[in-house]
Structure formats: structure tokens, C-alpha cells
Amino acid sequence: MGSKQKALIGALFFLVMLAGAWLAYDYLSDAYRPQLPLNTTTPVTDEQGESPERQPAPDFTVTDWDGTDVRLSDFFGKPVIVNFWASWCPPCREEMADFDRVYEDFSEDIHFLMVNQTDGQRETMAQAREFIESDGYRFPVYFDEELEASIAYGISALPTTLFIDPDGYILGGIPGAIDEETLRDVIDLLF
């Protein structure tokens, strides 16, 4: 067998493998639907039959689009959805349009904090701004330049979304990307 035939067979094999990977990804993306948050408003009791104390949401400071420092606690009084993301993260990028649509419908009733993990190396404010502006997203973006918010919540995977009640208590969270339907379901369940 000649070298051209080997190269052609290799290229065909590569294309078949690539198509198989794409089909598997497409199937799993459609089939995967994350579970609702573990900690919801559903009454949970301990061994003595008593409800556990609610967990206050750790406060943190991030920078808004205009460079002003804001604290999570500034938003208490309404429910808060905090989404940790980065522009280099494919699942983060994929869920942004869903968050933007839900933000448009609920922005009067719920605070959305789209917290960018701005470490200054892998993610910069310029990269995050360029991504948001290029896609025309309207939700508010905040920059976690000191990673204070990410550390406060132990964020080890992006994206991660947290749900906080108007009084500043954590209701639950979902690690990984979520779609519009799931986000709306959680809002209906929790708020």
C-alpha cells in the first residue's frame, strides 16, 4: 500500500472518529439535564425532626462594569442568582444566551450577578468585555479580580450557579451548565 493510500485511510479514519465524537457530544448534550439544586426550600429535617439552620450566603466584593466595587449583600432584598463563568469556558459560553433571555424576563424581580473569574492571566477584563459585547448580552457582569467570590464559595468548576433568597440565605446551587428551561424551573421552584 502506497503512502498516499495510507494517508487517505488515516484521514478517513480521523473524520469518522471526529463525526462519532460530535454525535456523542450532541446526544449527551441533549440528554443531560442537571438536577435541581440539592438545597431547596423543601423542608428537610435532621434526626431529631428539626429543620436545620439556614446557611447565610458568604458576602464578597466584586467590580461592576464601570469599575465600582459592589458587595453581594448590596443586592439582598430580592432573590439573587450568582453565575460564575469565564469566556474561555465552552459550557459557560453556551449557557449565556439562556441566561440573557431569562434575565430579560425576570430582571425586575431577581438580581442576576454574572461573576466573571477574572484572574488576570487566563481571563482578563478585556477578554470578558469583548465576549459580552460581541454577543450583545444585556445582563449585568461583575469581575472577580481578586477571586474573593470564587474562594468564598469554593468554586472549583465553571460554570456554577447559586440561588440566594432575598434575606441572604443560600437556597442551592448547580455546578455545570444549565439551559433556559432548567433555569426557569429552578426560579419557579425557589422564588
pLDDT tens for residues 89-102? 999 999 999 999 99
49 has a pLDDT exceeding 70: no
Q: Can you give the pLDDT at residue 3?
A: 74
At residue 190 the predicted structure's pLDDT band, cuts being 50, 70 and 90, is confident
Give the structural domain span for 170. 61-190
Per-residue pLDDT, 37 = 43
Q: 8-12, 21-25, 112-116, 126-130: which has the minimum mean pLDDT?
A: 21-25
Structural domain total, the chain: 2
Q: Which of 118, 113, 162 is nearest to 140 (CA)?
A: 113
Domain shared by 158 and 98, yes or no: yes
Do residues 126 and 174 both lie within one domain?
yes
Going through 120-177 in order, the beta strands assigned E by DSSP cover: 141-143, 160-164, 170-175
- Model pLDDT for residues 59-68, shown as the tens digit of each residue: 999 999 999 9
Per-residue pLDDT of 127-173, as tens digits, reads 999 999 999 999 999 999 999 999 999 998 999 999 999 999 999 99
Q: What is the pLDDT of residue 151?
A: 94
Both 85 and 165 in a single domain?
Answer: yes
Average pLDDT over residues 184-190: 91
Mean pLDDT over the full length of the chain: 84
Q: Count the neighbouring beta carbons within 10 Å of the beta carbon of residue 76.
A: 18
24 and 67: one domain?
A: no
The residue-averaged pLDDT of 109-137 equals 96
Query: Same domain, yes or no, for 67 and 156?
Result: yes
* Whether residue 104 has pLDDT greater than 70: yes
Structure confidence at residue 45 as a pLDDT band (50, 70, 90): very low
Q: Parallel, antiparallel, or unpaired: how do β-strands 160-164 and 80-85 relate? A: antiparallel
Model confidence at 11: pLDDT above 50 = yes
Q: What's the CATH number where 172 sits?
A: 3.40.30.10
CA 163 vs CA 2, 98, 170: distances in Å: 61, 16, 6
CA angle 123–126–132, rounded 5-degree value: 90
Is 51 a domain residue? no
- Looking at the fold, whether 91 and 6 belong to one and the same domain comes out as no
What is the reported pLDDT for 42? 40
pLDDT over threshold 90, residue 76: yes
Same domain, 157 and 82: yes
The per-residue pLDDT for 17 is 65
The answer to whether residues 107 and 23 belong to one domain is no
Q: What is the mean pLDDT of residues 6-28?
A: 61
Question: Do 4 and 78 reside in the same domain of the chain?
Answer: no
